Amino acid sequence: MIASTNGTSIAERFTGKNFDVRVLRQDGPGRPSYWERHRVAYERDMNVISVLQRIAAQSQTSDGAPVSPVVWDSNCLEEVCGACTMVVNGKVQQACTALVDRLLSENPEGIELRPMTKFPVIRDLFVDRRRVFNALKKVKAWIPVDGYYDMGPGPRQSQAAQEERYPLSQCMSCGCCLEACPQYSKIELTRRERESAAAFDLRQQAAWNQAFIGAHAISQVVLFNEHPTGKMNAGERIEALTSSGGVQVCGNAQNCVAVCPKEIPLTTSIAKAGRAVTVYKIANFFKR
């Protein structure tokens, strides 16, 4: 049971009462954002997802004004899919593991929900994170197998190697590390007049590829370069990290590792990747 500052439990204090939820809303890309206040009846075992579900069902503000439901992204609600990432009381996290009792014990005034700031808002709390997945393409985050016919088992691997790789492979591309990173900034382009959708996509992708790739993708390079088969193409992934927006952009603020919900050792990965890039550059220098 979570206790509030004066000793009584949050459940005791709030049962039968309402609490305030302030949501930073935005009707669409390029539109102004605005705060909206909702009142939600306290229930036990609530998380921010269930708060948003109640808000959707109520579809009115605390003043009784009818409004459309707040839009948000979610799926598994078990903190394994990464969808419901948002900024809750100033901290980037998954809405599913943001427990109301804990939030109210930290701040009995209510709960404040904002969309992530490093990605373009599609609507309300729902943001466009395609750039996160694009980064996985840039670093070729996959094992380049010959094909999917039966070729027998994969390479044998030690327990120690599995224990190194397993934490890295839990990255759910949620974007927390990017939201917290001072070097990662928002890229929001708008389609020009007479620009085709395909041309716009290409321009957008080019902009993403120029800018900082982020901790998650650097860590994926380590994940694949440490795999016996993945290692065969390690150079291609390291090459991607030496290009514009690569590992050199990291300013070592170490915010990423502090906010990662899966506690992935991101800074260790960045250090490893940094060393690999140095070795790669020196080797290339002598090859010339």
Partner 1 sequence: MAKPKVMIIGGGLAGLSATMKLAELGLDVDLMSLVPVKRSHSVCAQGGINAVNNMTRQEGDDEWLHLDDTVYGGDFLQHQPPVKEMAYWAPKVVDLMDRLGVTFNRTQEGFLDNRRFGGTLYKRTAFAGATTGQQLLYALDEQVRRHEQSGRVTKYEYWDFLGPVLDDQGACRGCVAQDLVTMEIRAFPADALILGTGGCGLIFGRSTMSMVCTGSAASRAFQAGAKYANGEFVQVHPTAIPGADKLRLMSESARGEGGRVWVPRKPQDPRQPRDIPESERYYFLEERYPEYGNLVPRDIATREIFNVCTKEGLSVEPGRLCVYLDLTHLPRELLDRKLGGILEIYEKFQGVDPRDVPMKIFPAVHYFMGGLWADYERSADGGLVAGSPRNQQTNIPGMYAIGECDYQYHGGNRLGANSLLSCIFTGLFVAPGIETWLNSLPHGTAAEQPSSLFEQARRQKQQQHEALLARDRGTENPYLIHQELGDVMTRNVTVVRRNDQLREAYEQICQLEQRAARASLSDTGQWTNQNVVFTKALMDMFPLAKVVTKGALLRDECRGAHFKPEFAMPPIHTEDPIERRREAEAWCDRFEANNKKWLKSTIAVYGKDGEPQISYEDVDTSLIPPRPRLYGLVGAEIIEQVWKERAAARETSPSDGNGAAGEPRSQTASTAH
Q: Which residues within the stretch 35-74 sit at the binding site for partner 1 (CB under 8 A)?
A: 43-47, 49-50, 53, 56-57, 59, 66-69, 71, 73-74
Say which DSSP state 216 is in.
H
Q: Does 79 bind partner 1 (CB under 8 A)?
A: yes
Q: Which is nearer to partner 1, 76 or 283 (CB)?
A: 76
Identity (one letter) of the amino acid at 124?
A: D
Q: Which of residues 163-202 bind partner 1 (CB under 8 A)?
A: 165-166, 169-170, 172-173
Report the residue count for the chain.
288
Cα(281)–Cα(283) distance, integer angstroms: 5
Q: Which is nearer to partner 1, 183 or 216 (CB)?
A: 216
Contacts of residue 83, defined as CB under 8 A and 6 or more positions apart, other chains included, come to: 73, 74, 75, 76, 174
Count of residues interacting with partner 1 (CB under 8 A): 72
Q: Which is nearer to partner 1, 93 or 183 (CB)?
A: 93
CB of 270 to partner 1, least distance (A): 20
Q: Which of residues 109-138 bind partner 1 (CB under 8 A)?
A: 122-123, 126, 129, 133, 136-137
Distance, CA of 109 to chain centre: 27
Q: Which of residues 209-268 bind partner 1 (CB under 8 A)?
A: 224, 227, 229-230
Judge whether 33 and 26 are in contact, CB under 8 Å.
Answer: yes
CB of 278 to partner 1, least distance (A): 25
CB of 282 to partner 1, least distance (A): 28
Say which DSSP state 53 is in.
H
Tracing tokens 């009818």 back to the chain, one arrives at: 66
Q: Which is nearer to partner 1, 54 or 278 (CB)?
A: 54
Cα(25)–Cα(285) distance, integer angstroms: 52
Q: Which of residues 14-33 bind partner 1 (CB under 8 A)?
A: 27-28
Across 191-208, b (16+ Cβ under 10 Å) vs e yields: eeeeeeeeeeeeebeeeb
Options 7, 90, 152, 286; binder of partner 1; rule CB under 8 A: 152
